Structure 1
Amino acid sequence: MSHLHKAALLVMDLQNGIVSRFADNNLQPFQKAIEAARQHDIPVIYVRVAFREGYPETSLRNKAFSRIAQYGGMTELEEATQIHASVKPQPGELVVVKRRVSAFAGSDLEVILRAMQVDTLILTGIATSGVVLSTLREAADKDFALTVLSDACLDGDPEVHRVLVEKVFPRQAEVMTVGEWAGSLQ
């Protein structure tokens, strides 16, 4: 039986409307992670959150997403939901649309990963306490091996980011910097 692991790098919620809230932050770690993955033939899969016109996916009971439906924005074709130019997908790289916080919720990500025979996920994204946390938990429950690139995760609250990467994530994932991860691929 083969024990070869097939990994994919998930670049989550690096879309214009979310990146713009983190204007002071440098996207260089994300760029370096994407570059390392491409150099080592690790598929890069982009995940973005977006809704259909009219927001049929949003429930009034969902505190976060019902506000989006109320005030507008974040539909599939809007500029806010497009992948940020600094981490633009190359031709052939997949972009998955999700409808909730986790990369798996309302998306075809799991189908794609199964078809590609991926069993290991490298997680990056904004925000650490949002998409990264939700995706990590769900992916762990789905038995994926996990690595979180701590410096390719951003959160509006630095203390929440610190607690997650230092205390919570290590229970279910390897946590390393982009540099450490890229070095491990050599």
Structure 2
Amino acid sequence: MTQSREDSYVGVFDAVVGFGARPALLVIDFTKAYTNPASPLYAEGVVSAVAESVDLLDAARRAEVPIIFTKVLYHPSGADGGIFIEKVPFLRKLVPGEPLAEIDEAVAPRPEELVIVKQYPSCFFGTSLIAALTAQRIDTLVLLGCSTSGCVRATAIDALQHGFRVVVPRECVGDRHQAPHDANLFDINAKYGDVVSKAEVIAHFAAPAGLRPPSHTASSAGGSD
């Protein structure tokens, strides 16, 4: 009898790492390129994720959890885009001054919150992110943003490889299609971090230090598969 997908992972890819002592929120590429219906990158799944992220950002700010944003920008020449802009030519449009490159107003960063500019999928690649995190003694990254199968997944893998705990609130990440969204949430949860509900993250932030609830159990992991 063929095992179900879930059963084939049990006992091997079902551990829970939970939150550490010092989390930060990383908001990945929630730009108008994904939320403006006139954009070729427009994705309803990202629009939904942006809306779901508003109260999580509020909870993080109340708890004084550091928040870092990222967005993609290229030199007008495209010289810093390498093969990536050859593979996805639309990315060449994301240059300084382009409205689609700006972060959606619904989740706009506050003046004191760091915005990191990147050119490739992982928020770590070629950026100052690792230095910013280690300087603040961050040990856990809560990932919001898009796309689940692209920049979120790439960042989750690199975060793990740099020694950070990874938590992904499933309602707060989005993609262009449900199938890659679900598949990548499943894979992130199996191998790279914990995929949890937004409510669990908000509850963790709201609890006093030392009284925070334990992380989710393995039975609550994964997306809506």
Both proteins in one fold, TM over 0.5: yes
Q: Does 1:176 align with 2:196?
A: yes
Gaps of 5+ in 2: 1-19, 37-41, 208-225
Query: Aligned-pair distance for 1:23?
Result: 4.5
CA distance in 1, matches of 2:186, 2:140: 20
Could you tell me which amino acid in structure 1 is paired with residue 147 of structure 2?
Answer: A
Runs of 4+ aligned residues of structure 1 deviating over 3 Å after TM superposition are 60-63
Report the secondary structure of 2:138's partner residue: coil
Indicate the structure (1 or 2) with the bigger Cα radius of gyration.
Answer: 2
Q: Does 1:59 align with 2:75?
A: no
Counterparts of 1:79-118 in structure 2, within 5 Å, are: 79-118=99-138
TM-score relative to the length of structure 1: 0.89
Q: 1:132 aligns with which of 125, 131, 152?
A: 152
50-59 or 9-18, which deviates more: 50-59
- Let me know the Cα RMSD of the aligned residues: 1.8
Deviations 1:113-163 (A, max 9, x none): 121111110001111001100000111111101101111000112011112
Deviations 1:88-134 (A, max 9, x none): 11120010001101111222111111211111100011110011000
Gaps of 5+ in 1: none
CA distance in 2, matches of 1:157, 1:31: 22
* % identical aligned pairs: 24
Structure 1 contact 32–178 (Cα < 8 Å) conserved: no
Q: How many residues align?
A: 180
Deviations 1:21-67 (A, max 9, x none): 024732221112111110111011101111122111122476435x2
TM-score relative to the length of structure 2: 0.74
Q: Does 1:22 align with 2:43?
A: yes
CA distance in 2, matches of 1:87, 1:64: 29
